[in-house]
A = this chain, B = another copy of it.
Amino acid sequence: MGSDGATGASPIRVALDVMGGDHGPPETVKGALEALESHDIELLLVGDGDVVQAELAKHDLAGKPVKVVPSVDRIGDDEHPLHALRAKPKASILVATGLLKSGDADVLVSMGPTGASMASAVLVLGMMEGLERPCIGGPFLGMGPRTVLVDMGTNIDCRPALLVSFAALGAVFARSFLDIDNPRIGLLSVGAEEAKGNRQVQECFQLLQDSHLNFIGNVEGMDFFTGRADVIVCDGFVGNILMKFTEGLGAALGPFLEERLSSILTPEELDRVTSDIWRATNQPRIMGGPLWGVNGAVVLGHGSCKAGEVAGAIDTAVRYVEIGLVDSMRQELLVVAGQQSASKLKADS
């Protein structure tokens, strides 16, 4: 492997914020090198020079397409994202995002902090037309790996029209990332009938029905498992609660099963099934979440990621670039914006 990859195309250039994540450089560097084994990519490792070199020295890099891009400082979990970005203009996340902006990288992967990574992406890359803030979406559960949830938590108070944009982006993702033709869009509510739901959902129902999307109506909490919809849309408040609830439930199922099965299963068998459940309930953590709506391919991993999940986020990043998700999403938002101004004109006339 290397820049003369088997496909003949140029390798995808992945900028990784090495300083990010709770476990920092030892895990991010290890994960990045793991990802090199299975992809024709070039790694741009952004971080404090000495720290990155010290980590790289632990591995055999002979012939591997790895570049170190020096940065100064990192942004911590406890800092206010915007203040910190202003105070540390050479911080790893800003330098890494800059590589994407200047065209020196094709995709950016960051293990957080999420707030700083998002703010950096919005500031440096800018938002796509028709969206004010990015959103996070993707497959949410190992028991329903082809059902996409959006928004997973970046937009807390949403106007109904914003949920339509999320739905449109979810449809693009389902089509190009999951190969689902004409994805079915469901609006998360408390009953299937149109009249069910809070004001936000009731207004959004009408907007989705008037849109070009394949809207199937309201769906409910159990429909993450029934396969009724390919994309389930909710605001980030509900999405974030659901995601953390699921992670908590997955973790609680470990001891729950252990109590019932430890006398029947071997420790290895028990470990295998509880790990499977953990993975199924921590899907976004494992694959990394593409940040939708910024002008560039950005994949955010969970802060607690270890090397395996860092490699998983890079997998996602590679596919994100290969299928041209940023361009498709940008075009889709223009369609939605056109529809919304047309209905506004109609309503005003």
Contacts and interface: CB of A to CB of B under 8 A. Distances in A.
Interface of A: 141, 143-144, 153, 156-157, 188-190, 197-199, 201, 220-226, 234-238, 240-249, 251-253, 256-257, 260-261, 264-265, 269, 272-273, 276-277, 280
Most B C-beta atoms less than 10 A away, residue of A223, A247, A261: A261
6 nearest CB pairs, A to B: A221-B244, A222-B248, A221-B245, A225-B248, A190-B240, A225-B252
A274 B205 CA distance: 36
15 contacts: A143-B256, A190-B240, A198-B235, A201-B237, A221-B241, A221-B247, A222-B251, A223-B248, A224-B249, A225-B249, A225-B251, A226-B248, A237-B238, A242-B242, A260-B276
Contacts of A141: 249
Contacts of A257: 273
Contact of A144 (B190, B246, B252): B252
A246 B190 CA distance: 14
Nearest to A154: B190
Contact of A222 (B144, B236, B247, B280): B247
Chain A contact residues, majority secondary structure:
helix
B249 A261 contact: no
B249 A249 contact: yes
Contact of A157 (B198, B225, B245): B198
